[in-house]
Structure 1
Amino acid sequence: MQQHFPGMFCGYHFARNGDPINAQVANLKTHLGDPSIPVMLDYEDPDARGSGANLRALVDAIHSAGLRVCAVYLPRWYWRDHMGSPPLNNLPPLWNSHYVTASGYASVIYPGKGFAGWANYTPGAPVEILQFSDQGQVAGRLVDVNAYEGTLDGLRTLFSGAPGELSVDDCVLDFWLQLLGPAGAGWPQLNNRSVVDALAEIGLHQGVPGMVPPPAGAAPAPLPASTADRARDVFDQIRGPDGNGWNQLGNRSIVDAIAALAHQLGVPGY
């Protein structure tokens, strides 16, 4: 997590309401190891009724131990049926769960900001993160998927507790993902193609000279371990391997391929 999502991850603690709070905090601190890592508190113990007072006491105890709760995962059904709908103001950001019935890529099945799961629990307690499915498809598996409607810097603030600027590592990682897609497997909206291969397919369809089909059956691109290697990948994606253009783009860079496609379509100025 430090390598792939610097400053944007947290530890996890499932609250056991029947266990002493001090014992829970000691256990959490021992396993977390690094007190600078924020804590995501999961409050939905089915075996012991919760309460607003118990939740607040647990959050306060974690903070008193030198740790920080960055979000409280509290499903609406648990808050209503197992806690009696107490007020939730002045607590860490609220993380709700409300599932859609579909399964598939998160970007496809996400229901949008108007979805009922985003509704405030009480005044002053907005839902800031929404888990909208446990059937999101990632790398061939079905997993929990979540949405955050703010900015990337806002999400960083949620995890870090203070506003921060994007690091070079963050930017290079985002460039890599934008060009190659999640897990290096292309973008669903590009029919699981990278940007380069999508341009090649469009150019071939439009009859741009030199455009050829992308290689068939290519495996997902592995994410390089270091920022330097990711930056090299980004350079190759934009300019072509070693800066010599891409074969499927007629030995053009991404910029020149877009220009050639626009010229073929008769866009003025190209």
Structure 2
Amino acid sequence: MVDTLFADVSEYQVPVDDSYPYQVLSIRVSDGTYRDHNFARNYAWMRAALDSERMTFGIVYTYVRPNWLANANTVRAMIDAEGGLHRRVALMLDVESGGNPPGDGSAWINQLYWNLADYAGSPRRIIGYANAYDFWNMWRVRPPGLRVIAAGYGSNPNLPGQVAHQYTDGSGYSPNLPQGSPPFGRCDMNSADGLTPRQFAAACGITVNGGPLMALTDEEQAELLTKVREIWDQLRGPNGAGWPQLGQNSQGQNLTPVDAIAAIKDDVEGMLAG
């Protein structure tokens, strides 16, 4: 079985460098409005690694706080200051009760979710992170189709929508699996069980098949295809069968604008020759 392993790091670790061995990496951008001191360096490396195909996709996460709009604006501003949201980066909401109000925080968490979904161009590019307790108690009402990285040291929570499992904080849980990664040393480690890096990326709303359309959001792709269809219809007529308004050729087929222009050209040349 293929599993995709990856680290989850912040300013508590050293910045990432080319010794990092995995195809996916998760880095913190902020804790609410607190700006992670390593984000700029980590994100610059991530963008370069994605562009060079060294990595398949990346995750940028924020520890969620109730001042959701300021939280969202911090995430947007920090990413925009470092070149913008890369087309192969998903955003993750780190939902934890530590330091947050007790009880159900679904209202403000979902406000943050939809704000960042608008920023990313698709809700599929927004995933969640939580342990089982916080998932069920702090985020009781969740967006449809939400994908989740579930934290469970020593056991797999198997939460609804789970695409990966944070199996250790580097302190020895799941001892048969890596407890860290170069250059960080011991750190939070995750496994997308049974998924290749590309499959894991696809589950998080990231297309990595290549081609120029990768740079476009779903909405932009739909707009482009609509415009291509409109151009086709104008040039070839409905269903590519020409336009009856332009007349027919000797076989009785409707002419296209190109045919009509060619006929006009022939007529003009004939008039000039005469």
* Larger Rg, first or second structure (1 or 2): 2
TM-score of the superposed pair, with normalisation by structure 1: 0.46
TM-score of the superposed pair, with normalisation by structure 2: 0.45
Higher-strand-fraction structure: 2
Larger RCO (CA under 8 A, 6+ residues apart): 2
